[in-house]
Structures are given as C-alpha cells and as structure tokens.
Chain A
Amino acid sequence: MSITLANISKSYKGLKALEAISFEVKAGELFGLIGPDGAGKTTLFRILTTLLLADEGTARVTGFDVVSDYKKIRNSVGYMPGRFSLYQDLTVEENLTFFATIFGTTIAENYDLIKEIYVQIEPFKDRRAGKLSGGMKQKLALCCALIHKPEVLFLDEPTTGVDPVSRKEFWEMLKRLQQKGITILVSTPYMDEAALCDRIALIQGGKILQIDTPQAIVGHYPKPIYNLRANKTYQLIKALKAYENNYSVYPFGEFVHYTDQRTDFDPSELKAYLESEGLSDVVIEKTEATIEDTFMELAK
C-alpha cells in the first residue's frame, strides 16, 4: 500500500473537519477524493503530507508514519496545494531550480519526468511566475511538485477555475505520470472528473460516503432513474416535487432526474399527471445514474 489511513480525525475549535477516515491507496493507483468545499479534502492532504497533525488515528505514506517518519515522507512525496504557492517574483526557471535544489537534485537529473509538461511552459521560462496564465501556473506547479521524482503525488483541486481544454490536458498528463509508476491522490469538487480515476472516495462533511471504482459506484445506485423534459422546466420541477410518489427530483442540465418510490412505477401515469398540470412536450426516458446522482443519494 502506498497510502494507508486508519481512523483519522481532526477538529478545528470543536468543528469536526474529519471523522474517523480510513482508506488505502495502492501503489501506482490514481485515486480521487471527490467532494465539495468544506468536505475535509485539504485537511486530509495536509495530514498526509505531514503539515498538520491529526487528533486521532494513524496514517502511513510510502510505508512511513506521518508523525514519527515525517522527514522521510517529505522526501518521497510531491504536493501541489490548491492555492498557487510558488514564488510569484521568481521566474519559471528559477522556481524549478529552487525546488530541485532544496530536494538535492537538479532539473537535468529528472528532466525526463517533467519534459512533456515543461516544454509547454519553456518558451516562458524567463517570465515571473506571477505573470503566467492560470493554465501555465498549474503546469509549473506540477513540474515543481515532480522535480525530485516523488513516489506519491498529492494534488489538491488542481483543476479548480481551469477551463475545459486545460482540464482535459491536465488529466491526460496525470494518466501519463501514472504510467511512469507514480501513485496519485487527487481531489476535485467536480464529479465529472471522478470517472477518470481508478478508484474514488466520495467525501462530505468530514466523512467518507463511499469508496469504490467509479463504475461500481454508479452501479450501486438503488433505483431506476428517469430523464424528464417538458416545455417549461420550472413548472416541471414544481409539479414533480408536488407528486406524491416522488422519491427524488433534481434538475440535471436540460433534463430533470426523477426517481419514484414505487417498484412498479409506470411512466405513462406520471406523464398523464404532468399533462394534467398543464405541461406539454413531456418526455420521460430511462437514463443511467451518474456519480452526482450517487453522491446526492448518499448525502441525503
């Protein structure tokens, strides 16, 4: 196991940030921590990277205990915090040299690992980090976290605030790093990114809701889900919420996701009800559960 947590808890002034968190990440795995702001993701990262002490429980990273062997962990992991934390007034190249030097290595020694990412920012190597665009800052931060060839990479919300093109490129980079044998723990509030991980933990309010592969997590969804659409979305939502047999009603892009309490649910009956409520162009079709559906069901 590359990362092991057993009953990790942490409170801030009586507020429980993490409650008895236990899970394991296998060597070489791309593991996602999926949850909204305030779920406890950053606290968990800070405990695993030895920057914060847990109140209870034990954790090991690359075989070392986060408390007694913290120095060894610091040498063998890379950490990219959620907030950009490189030196804004150093250039791209100076930042990278700085991080290589404090880990006792050189850019040349591990250049292979960062090459694919670094070539994209190399044309700007003399630019100060503070003057880079969001996407470029993110690539530089990743290079700096990798320059000492870590065994485990911790990435706290690397794609927050990043546009879809840069997000896609970032996840492609992560897949390539994984192929080079690096274990990756990545957090995100965006459920659509969960599908790109080998396994995920859904986390909310300091508690793990479920851990499994993304496929298994959506497979466990307990009810058939229907996509609904009608001529007026707001009235559709209102009518569905007023329908006595509804189990859940959630707007979902151009559709509304609906589940019914009954096992012998008949969509045509619902359609008739909605039409009696003055809606037209009603479409009801079965759909697959998504990670978000599962998350909402578990968080209910």
Chain B
Amino acid sequence: MKREKVIQVAGLTKRFGDFAAVDAISFDVYRGEIFGFLGANGAGKTTAMKMLIGISNPTSGQAQVAGFDVFTHAEDIKKNIGYMSQKFALYDDLTVRENIRFFGGIYGLSRERIKEKSDALIEELGLQGAAHKLVGALPLGWKQKLSFSVALIHDPKIVFLDEPTGGVDPITRRQFWEMIYKAAHQGTTVFVTTHYMDEAEYCDRVSIMVNGKIEALDSPKQLKEQFQAANMNDVFLKLARG
C-alpha cells in the first residue's frame, strides 16, 4: 500500500540577507501521521513552519502542502489546514459557541454545518454546561481541547500545532494527546512543534533542526537507538551540542 504524502518538501530555503534561517530542508509527511518538528530556539523551525502554512514566501526550493504549492497557491493551503498555538487560539471574550461559530464562518462552513459541528463538538468535549460561558473563564486545559477541536472544524487534511500543551496538568495533557491520536486515526495529519522532548515521544516520526538544517529524522524509537540515548531529551542534547 502506497502511503499518501500530504506534505512534500525539497530543498526549501529561506534567507534573510546572507543568513539562511532555513537551509535546504527536505522531508515528506504522510496522511494520518503525527509528525514532530523540533529544534532549539533560533534553529529555524518557526520560519520553516511559516512557509509551510503559506504565510511566508520561501527564497528557494519546493514545497507542497495538502496538495498545493507554497509558491503559487498559499491561499488554498490556508483553507485546507488547521492551525493552533498557545499564543493565538480562541477569543476570550466570546463564548464557546460564539468561538465555534466565528471560526466555522471564517472557514466558509454553512450555517447548518456550523450548527451540526457546534453540537457535536460541545458534546464530545463534555462542554454542554459551559457552551454559553466566555472562553476566558474556562480552565486552561479546556481551552486547549476546544482550541484543537476548532482547528479541525473544517476537516482540514493537516493540522499544525505550535507548542500546544505547555503548562497543563499531566492528566489533561494526556486527554489532549488522545484527541490527537484520534484525529490521526481518522486520517488527519498532525504536525507538531514543541520544546518538550517528552511530547516528542508521542510522535510517529520526529525531525530535529539545528542551525537551519534537519539533522535527524526518524521514529523516536529509531532515534534513541541511533544516538544510544535513553530518551528524546538526550537525543536532542547530543545533536544540538554536537
């Protein structure tokens, strides 16, 4: 069975003057895969991700995301992906329902579809009692789970998660990962950036960027064997410290 590639990147580069923030990176990500995108502060992962989600033009190279070219079809990419980060997520001064309706509207869902999705989503998250509460009043863990569900509201092929689970308690964090597993199981590709190597251990495959280049890419299990490390934190330290 040939696996469908939903992200294809070849020689992708972004220069700022003489400095190559992203230096000819190449990789593929498959349908339904949980892909971890790691790197130290300043290694280039934010710059790379901005190119993949269609908000920054590459200097050179090639990349296709959800079937669209990042050079020529950036707008189509935006419609076909979901995005969630801890910094930018939901509107605190809108209620749960209003947030869902707002994002559903942004992604062009019909009124009926938004209604259906809202009901399903609220029930799945067990937020029936909180549907008319302001999002700002919800505990952080609920916000994150809601934010993830909203990022999936238009059934995107790929969802990008930028440092998604910082600060939440370990039980909520695991509920969040169960949601990620479920989305992946249903065929959504999940692309995650994180500083926390214990999160990297949840991914199917992980890439590690150092100084603008991808220096390692494999499953956590293989990487640990390759670098003779007990955990992904040690793999990361070995790579980043040289």
Q: Which residues of A contact B (CB under 8 A)?
A: 35-39, 133-135, 160-166, 168, 189-192, 204, 232-235, 237, 250-254, 292, 295-296, 299-300
Which residues of chain B from 171 to 228 have a CB within 8 Å of any chain A CB? 171-172, 174, 177-178, 181-182, 184-185, 195-198, 201-202, 219-221
Q: Which residues of B contact A (CB under 8 A)?
A: 39-42, 139-140, 166-172, 174, 177-178, 181-182, 184-185, 195-198, 201-202, 219-221, 232-233, 236-237, 240-241
B167 touches which one: A36, A191, A252, A300 (CB < 8 A)? A36
Question: 13 interchain pairs (CB within 8 A)?
Answer: A38-B140, A133-B42, A134-B41, A165-B236, A166-B40, A189-B168, A192-B233, A234-B184, A254-B220, A254-B221, A296-B170, A296-B171, A300-B171
Cα A292 to Cα B40 in complex, Å, equals 24
CB distance from A38 to the nearest CB of B (A): 6
Cα A251 to Cα B185 in complex, Å, equals 15
Question: Is B140 within 8 A of A37, CB to CB?
Answer: yes
Question: Given A133-B41, A233-B181: A161 and B170 within 8 A (CB)?
Answer: no
Question: B182: which A residues are within 8 A, CB to CB?
Answer: 234
Question: Given A296-B170, A299-B169: A251 and B41 within 8 A (CB)?
Answer: no
A254 touches which one: B39, B185, B202, B237 (CB < 8 A)? B202
Considering the complex of A and B, which 10 residue pairs feature the smallest CB-CB distances, nearest first? A253-B201, A36-B169, A37-B167, A234-B181, A234-B185, A163-B40, A292-B170, A163-B41, A164-B236, A165-B240
Cα A192 to Cα B42 in complex, Å, equals 23
Question: Given A165-B40, A166-B41: A192 and B198 within 8 A (CB)?
Answer: yes
Question: A190: which B residues are within 8 A, CB to CB?
Answer: 196
Question: Is B41 within 8 A of A160, CB to CB?
Answer: no
Cα A138 to Cα B128 in complex, Å, equals 42
Cα A209 to Cα B34 in complex, Å, equals 34
CB distance from B65 to the nearest CB of A (A): 24
The residue among B170, B201, B232, B241 with the most chain A CB atoms within 10 A of its own CB is: B170
Cα A300 to Cα B172 in complex, Å, equals 11
Question: B140: which A residues are within 8 A, CB to CB?
Answer: 36-38
Question: A253: which B residues are within 8 A, CB to CB?
Answer: 198, 201-202, 220, 232
Cα A250 to Cα B169 in complex, Å, equals 13
Known pairs A134-B41, A162-B41, A164-B195. 6 more at Cβ < 8 A?
A191-B170, A234-B185, A235-B185, A250-B170, A251-B202, A252-B201
Question: Is B201 within 8 A of A254, CB to CB?
Answer: yes
Question: A204: which B residues are within 8 A, CB to CB?
Answer: 169
Cα A252 to Cα B197 in complex, Å, equals 12
Cα A37 to Cα B40 in complex, Å, equals 23
Q: Which residue of A lies closest to B39 (CB)?
A: A163
Question: Is A164 within 8 A of B170, CB to CB?
Answer: no
Question: B220: which A residues are within 8 A, CB to CB?
Answer: 253-254
CB distance from A77 to the nearest CB of B (A): 25
Question: Is B241 within 8 A of A163, CB to CB?
Answer: no
CB distance from B33 to the nearest CB of A (A): 12
Question: B172: which A residues are within 8 A, CB to CB?
Answer: 36
